Chain A
């Protein structure tokens, strides 16, 4: 978490403990903090404060945007094959249509157009892919959806975008947008769903009617305040951070691509600077991640299942990459705390681990 966000959160753990839905003075104090946080979000997103709905996580925001829309207006849900499971599983659960992607893992626009019809009520296309960092051309998506399914609610999972892309450029293109606080330096357990005025859905969490009956449940006041502070800082620093992290990203790629059999998954111009994704031919990610962990480099390959085992990436499969490459998927993230020294250490650790794994493989194949 950003230190400013931690600091902003602390009073709500002790002095300002009231439930903002109450009517006494402490409740009003908490309520004021939430209202102010909502203003901060609206400013950073370029939306109206009333369009912000606080939820419990990015997954809940995605679920609400898709399941809630289908419940309100029954019809077909559509998404791309490389969406986060928070979207993909909702669309699959509703027997919706999963659209193929291109070699970059972003939605195939022709295929999208082909499935759109007046029956489609929900279209979800992520702004930035969580595994590869690939950026979707949301302007093109929006144009097609508005033309061929004008009644559909266009949703974007922008969870991975907040640090790297000005949200004010995304919001005008869509009807609903999901964010998650811990992706921009806020706490875990705070999600945001932005819902355009005049667009409606059935709430999926029912109860006391908080958030204008759109999401019931007592507000996580400290979390929301901290999330607002984190997004404010992110918004202020974004352009300088994008430049700084882009240079680090280029340095990291240069080091990794010097490894024999390393393939860059997404070109720089098509991805955000905070995600470095490579496939190391013939290297099993599970082995690599263990050796990196030993060397104090924490990385990931794809998402993990309930047991904690790595699942084969549905994103890389949708991109049509061969299994020889996908078994060696490696995803590194860079963020506001990353330094040049971190990048050098990561390159060294990954190179050493690959050399070690290949040495054992070569010995065994003799």
Chain B
């Protein structure tokens, strides 16, 4: 096959490219230039592009750089800012995968005559009885099926995850054996377009990034009865379920249970106020076909999957009814459905604010 492999300059995608070559594919590496501003992590800095290019040179494959900065800004950065402005905490990595890696790059691959696009994600795509399944990565600690959950059958049929069968340790060993400069490069953890450096006012990278683009407003912190407990500097940066920085004094653990951005108010309360018996999920994309019935549901990149029963409500939205009450999912996060054995992705969508309902 002719495979376009997305090379971020990290060890996983370096080894992915090497494995594809070993498997006899015709391989071309590509690094997507996504972010034009300051960056010190992830896949956008010039030194990461250098690493990707040098690995490609070492493997003897062509390396291209595609400029997708406009698409990235429109589909990832702008929504990230706009969501924060209304008190929603989005996951930009998922939106990048949705709009860039598995849409824009896929489309580009088709135009250029490639049969598949490969990335270094720890997940597996397997055809089982004619159905393309997105299966959790072999290394459960590194499994990334959650962040690539949004692919349909067409996308899955054109996607390869060469390191999905390996543990991270084996990936690094492979890179070391090949003498790759990326063998010991640390994993990227943070949002690629936000630097870890504090700005001149001592604000963290995230606060500074958002604060330069939208006004950040202080808010009063109250308990569930409306008693004022304190304040926060930026209501836009508070996340549902958050404890740190909003708990106030006293012995009981308090969590953010409601955020009123226009009213500049954050409500905190005991964990019991966060517990719900179901969650409504919108904009669901199914890997194969819509599913109702028992499932496992994961609500963050490395979150524990929980048991639930999936159904569809009158408005056509997917409802995950928990087997045991669970903490509410922060609006903007993705809920990803796995089969009852927690092996493969059924589909996934976004939790939105309007549909939260407390059991209390």
Contact = CB atoms under 8 A, between A and B. Distances in A.
Interface in B39-61: 46, 49, 53
Contacts of B25: none
Contacts of A284: 108, 111
A310 B112 contact: no
A308 B111 contact: no
Interface stretch (B64-72, B236-244, B253-261, B349-357): B64-72
B107 A364 contact: yes
A306 interface: yes
Interface in A282-306: 284, 286-287, 290-291, 304-306
B66 A309 contact: yes
A286 B67 contact: yes
A308 to B, nearest CB: 4
Contact of B112 (A291, A309, A312, A361): A291
A357 interface: yes
A364 B46 CA distance: 33
Contacts of B70: 312
Nearest to A307: B49
A311 interface: yes
A310 B110 contact: no
Contacts, number: 41
B142 interface: no
Contact of B49 (A291, A308, A356, A364): A308
Contacts of A13: none
Nearest to B48: A307
Contacts of A311: 67
A361 B111 CA distance: 8
B111 A360 contact: yes
A147 B32 CA distance: 49
Contact of B46 (A306, A356, A361): A306
A307 B31 contact: yes
Nearest to B110: A360
A307 B111 contact: no
Contacts of A357: 111
Contacts of A305: 33, 67
A286 B110 contact: no
A364 B110 contact: yes
A309 B43 CA distance: 13
Chain A CB count within 10 A is highest, among B64, B66, B70, B111, for: B111
A286 B66 contact: yes
A309 B111 contact: no
A307 B64 CA distance: 10
Nearest to A308: B65
Contacts of B33: 305, 307, 309
B112 A290 contact: yes
Contacts of B64: 290
Contacts of A361: 111
A170 B238 CA distance: 63
Nearest to B108: A287
A357 B49 CA distance: 27
Sort A-B residue pairs by CB-CB distance and give the 3 closest, nearest first. Answer: A309-B67, A309-B33, A308-B65
22 contacts: A284-B108, A284-B111, A286-B66, A286-B67, A287-B108, A287-B112, A290-B112, A291-B112, A291-B113, A305-B33, A306-B46, A307-B33, A307-B46, A307-B49, A308-B53, A309-B65, A309-B66, A311-B67, A312-B67, A356-B111, A356-B113, A361-B111
